[in-house]
Amino acid sequence: MPKLLGITQSGYDPASRFRFIQFIPYLEKNGWQVEHRPNRPDRQWSSPLRSRLARALHYRAGRVLMKANRIVDLISSASYDVAFVNRDFAAEGALFQKMFLPLMRKAIFDFDDALFVGGREKLVRWMCANAFWVTPGNEYLADYARQFTNRVTIIPTVIDTECCRSRDYSMPAGRKGPVRIGWSGSDQSIGTTLVPHLPMLEALQRQTDFELVVITNTEPKLPTSSLRWKFVPWKAEDEASLHTKFDIGIMPLVDDAFQKGKCALKLLQYMAAGLPTVASPVGVNQNVLLHQITGFAARTDNEWHEGLTCLLKNPELRAAMGQAGRERCQQHYSVRRWLPVLLNLFEKIRVERALSGSIQRPVHTS
């Protein structure tokens, strides 16, 4: 039985869960022995200690432990046929590159954000150049990777639609109350994506009754006085029942170098749940959303206002767009659709390495 080592940023962040962890049961059903090794502790870990000095020392000790655990993973990786590396190895620099190069020669490097924007560009460049294969989440990311390797296959972020429940529009609506417009995402992105649209939502709420639902890690303090909204704490187990939380999903983005690399996860989650959507046509959102079929693409405040007004006032349109979105997600952005591609890549690496003994590829250090 071939053995696969999965190295991810954590055991719970979206990139780890949607680009690797959700595939594990299906990989095992297809004959792979899978070992998952997230960072321990994860990159988001912070010390609970109260003293500033003690907290700083505790944090540094945690970072040292995380890197030490990666060295243990590296030592054990010799017994695996293929490695799947999501984002990084929790370390960088010349020593890191020398140590991890043998593992990279049997690894897929997978990334779903524009990690190369900012201070990590040199690291991402090295990962792309030295991995056996690279699987960026969209064309924008792939354009970057192709500067350093021709072994690139785009694998979009996908949803396990077999597990994700969808709104059943054939049943009479059992819930009373205003239509719910929902935003779901990290508390780190609220300020740049949702907050700029609050004045538009306030004006819309004065004209058309609705409730804004915000699903995120911690309760945010939104800079609004009149907008009626509700906070729902994010829970991984609730993602499969997103259709019960709201009726319209929104995904605003900023058209900048980093957010162009986003892989439309929120948008796909809404669509898988059978919800109509309104989203910024930035990056891959332009490909995922079908304007006036699965939802509305909106750049300006007027376009956001018009799209949301149309959906708020027309339950039949919400149903039609929600069903169209669910079907599109099943056909083009589901685990079932992309599992064969991932399996073929793993098998390609395993077979090529078995035939050649070791793939000799140039070492890139710049």
Domain positions in the chain are 3-158+334-356, 179-332
The candidate with the shortest Cα–Cα distance to 206, out of 221, 226, 225, is 226
Q: Convert 101-132 to b/e letters by CB count within 10 Å (16 or more is b).
A: eebbbbbbbbbbbbbbbeeeeebbbbbbbbbb
Q: Cα angle vertex 365, ends 363, 366, to 5°?
A: 135
Structure tokens at 287: 């490909």
Asked, as a colleague might, if the bond just before 178 is cis with ω within 30 of 0, I would say no
Same fold, 3-158+334-356 and 179-332: yes
Q: Which CATH number fits domain 3-158+334-356: 3.40.920.10, 3.40.50.2000, 3.30.70.3270, 3.30.420.40?
A: 3.40.50.2000
Contact 333, 326 (CB under 8 A): no
Contact 64, 32 (CB under 8 A): no
pLDDT digit string (tens) for the chain, length 366 residues: 999 999 999 998 999 999 999 999 999 999 999 999 999 998 888 889 989 999 999 999 999 999 999 999 999 999 999 999 998 787 778 888 889 999 999 999 999 999 999 888 999 999 999 999 999 999 999 999 999 999 999 999 999 999 998 988 876 665 678 999 999 998 889 999 999 999 999 999 999 999 999 999 999 999 988 999 999 999 988 898 999 999 999 999 999 999 999 999 999 999 999 999 999 999 999 999 999 999 999 999 999 999 999 999 999 999 999 999 999 999 999 999 999 999 999 999 999 988 876 444 544 444
The candidate with the shortest Cα–Cα distance to 160, out of 338, 38, 9, is 338
Would strands 82-86 and 179-184 be described as parallel, antiparallel, or unpaired?
unpaired
pLDDT of residue 97: 85
Q: Which CATH number fits domain 179-332: 3.40.50.2000, 3.40.47.10, 3.40.720.10, 3.40.50.300?
A: 3.40.50.2000
What gap in Å lies between CA 144 and CA 149, rounded to an integer? 10
Contact 230, 198 (CB under 8 A): no
In three-state form (DSSP H/G/I as H, E/B as E, the rest C), the secondary structure along 261-316 is: HCCCHHHHHHHHCCCCEEECCCCCHHHHCCECCCEEECCCHHHHHHHHHHHHHCHH
